[in-house]
Structure 1
Amino acid sequence: MVLVLTCSALPSFSQTIDLGTGTAEQWEYSSGPVNIYYRRTVCQFVYTASELSAAGASSVNPITELGFYVTQAPAYSIPNYTIKIKHTTATDVSAALGTTGWTTVKNGFTYAPTAGGWDMITLDDQTFVWDGISSIGVEICWNQVAPNWDPSGKVRIYSTTNGYRYRWTDAAGSSCGSVPSATSLNKPQIRIVFVAGTSTTWTGAISSDWFDQNNWTAGVPNQIMDAVIPVTATQPSISGSAAVTNSITIDSGASLTIPGSDTLNVYGNWTMNGTFTGSRSTVIFRGTGISMNTMDGVSNQQFNNLEVRSVSGVMMISGSYEVQGSLRLKGGPFIPNNRATLISNSMATGRMSAVRNLCKYQLVMTDSYGDGWNGGTVTVYIDGELYGVFNAEGAGSSVTINVPSGSNYQLTYTAGLYETENAYVFNDPSGNPEYSSGTPPATGTVHTGTASCAFTNPFLGQISIQRYLALGNTGWREMTTGVQDKTLDDWRNDGITMSGFTGSDYPSFGWSSVLTYNENNANGDKNNGWVSAGNITDTINYNTGHRVYIGSGALTTEITGVPIVGTQTISLDYQDDAGGIDQEGWN
């Protein structure tokens, strides 16, 4: 196996990286790093510079482990399983990488792979450090498997060109030292560990740059690594690119700053006991697991944009959270537990964008021979971002594709071997076929669409909504609220003085300071349409504008309740020809 790593101009670094995505797996009759269809093998893999730039390979810490996502264990153990590494200028394995210059990082051992996830191999020689410039080649070889060959041993793969090279035979002896001669279009997904563990701690040893690997104990965080930020002389700043982390913890007295409009993508949990300064940034929760992402920490945490895309949703456990930009719900349930506020001040007013629940599409894939697709894959994109790469396993398999309502999706098919065995159907959220591939499936971009499904409200609980009013002169202002079951008394409690109706501050005053409009009362004169409030307990209807007479000065209203979300139908009364055109349509 050969792994080719190259650097980019602005790399980010981490202690653990995964290369390749999706659930596609190799055919049991094809060569792979744990396959024993032939009894002994030597193989090489190649990974491109763009892949490694995106994943973040460390040039500070040595490689300590590597492994593959094993979906089927081989029937027999693999003897003298050996791994070698060297720096190389090669960018693929269109030609073999030779037999010299290798460092043996895993001495020959009897390997019994475990199926069901990443099967990691701890290296014996843990001194190999990528130089940050060269590619890295990794070769795997083993001795003849006993007692026989068997069509078993599968790993997850993804499509590439000249990414995998191999030579296999049933002959006695060892394949170590042999030169691989055949190439494949599919290479294994691989996990590389530079430092054992699941977290990296900020030191700020070099600068405030989040993306400088030398500012962390074990490289820059990524999707599968947690970030821990303690108090240091220099605190981290995210600038110029989107940052990624699994969970993030910011200790008391520590801080994280995003000075511009960059994004922090969080795949795990948020614990903020220090200070977060977000400027015009966006924090996006992107969890893909079955557990909700959680938010904990101190009170009055401030966000510009806060976006939920996590499949299982987000729950606020402790602390309080203020959004001054946009709260965007595009994922699973959002449970704020009365801890979220859309704030409003002289600089900005927070808002909640259109709520887009997840639409659950189904990708149903079949293989008529019953051995799984032999390299064919379906790639799914959502709003231009890669969602996943999938293939049929055995006689067939299916996967749920979660798409936010209103988002655009795209299906692309890549062919493998024995394409006449392959077929798939893309079902809409109601279970009806939206696209059927037929046999053999067409290649390239085969289907696009915009997600649509029955609305299910993901917002569970209440939210506080502020409105800052800076009034230079006393006068009428048009107001309403976006939460349910609120009354005029909620506005009065925020400092708005009311008059002219029961329960108001001055019920006997000569005119009402709170009006709504009913055009059916106008009869040709718009002024007749105004209707006075009847009682301080009158409901503030979200579908009705309220005209409120307010004194000069500045004040902030804050209403807490269940937000009104989803498509709303508002009926408007209208009198046609009841008067001049300037007297109609004032509702």
Structure 2
Amino acid sequence: MKSALLVSGLVALVCGFVQAQSTIQLGSGTTTTSTTGASPINIYYASSHLQIVYTAAELTAAGARAGRIQKLGFYIESAPNYNLPNFAIKLKHTTAADATIHDPGPFTTVFNAATYAPAAGGFHLLALSQSFLWNGQDNLLVDVCFDRVPGYSSSGTVRYYQAVNGVRYIRSDSENTCGLSTTTNANEKPQLQLEFAASLSNDAGMWSFDEPKNFCAGAQQVKATIANFGSNALNSVRVNWSVNGIAQTPLNYEASIPPSGQQGSTVSVTLGSFAFVARNTYLFKIWTSLPNGGADPFLTNDTLTLTLGPGLTGEYTIGGANPNFSSFALAAQALASFGVCGPATFKVRNGTYQEQVTLGAVSGSSAQNPITFQAESGNAASVILTYASGNDASNFTLHLQGAQWITMKNLSIEASDNTFGRVLLLSGQASNNTFENNRFRGR
């Protein structure tokens, strides 16, 4: 690992920087992707979208510790023949050990350029428009994509190392792929350099939201983990929180927290209790302030915001007048966000729903807590779910991606594209799902 001071010693003392920035490298060697192989800069197809998982074990072995990533770059062996339009890099923490399954996010967009010209001959480090705080514990998912270049060519290569299913990608000549799910796995994981910013003396921040998760309506304890990201011991810090913009009683934590990177530098705290009402959602904001009684010099890592709500249970409506959800997709999003707390039934009003629906694994679903989508009228002809895919990568109308204990009942499910006519896709250990009295129509 190479290290270098950002600034002179005098300026470092004035600003509170006490540890040098550091650059780590993931992967080594000179093996290069082919001119037609998927990589973050290859244009054998006009547009590409890749997801790459770098494990916490890799980062730690390379010398990384929890901190702010401020630059990122791949080793560019040879540049593509065209600059890459709308080139975007997004990051997120993940518990996935590899990129076997597409991750829909949410992500933090750290780099976005209207056009990107990769510079060959080494690691092309890009200054991030928004730094990303790696928590030192989770794996790191790098999502990179670009829109269609003027013409595809066999060009654009990077150095890589072998990692089974370390990469997942989608490529297309006919459409931009940044908004598409990745579909194909690969083992050629691009070598990567990450530059971490220098640490500060007194820097408190949020590490994680802990509880409640996957809960039912009623009073629940609210817990979160705070962290010392600075080089000084943290002897006091205030933890503030609000719900739907209404301030709650803050917690003044006054036990010593060791400096960043040392054992015990993160601490779980109980903020209080909150009464959740069924079928309501709540915007939580939790943030730290006054580390060691002074102003926090770095605010980016201070705040967590998230939407919480009790698990779904009972009957809900989709479509029609005053529905609980106006579309299948919004119902699927609620299931993904909040899970279920009992049997949940979605009664779909008459109509044609032109949308593509993906249902993933739902927390709380079981034989005792099944999830049912059914026509409210009981007539399959009255509810039509239809979608025109237009490409092989997203060739489905309904995708059960690891979903379990789902029942589809009295529905018409159609694929309307003349070329890409798959109606139903099952993947990712989808099981214990039931289809009853449905009408399927493909092309």
Range class of TM-score, shorter chain: 0.3 to 0.5
Could you say which structure has the greater relative contact order, defined with CA pairs below 8 angstroms and 6 or more residues apart? 2
Return the index of the structure with the highest Cα Rg: 1
Q: Which is richer in strand?
A: 2
Structure 2 length normalisation: TM-score?
A: 0.40
Structure 1 length normalisation: TM-score?
A: 0.31
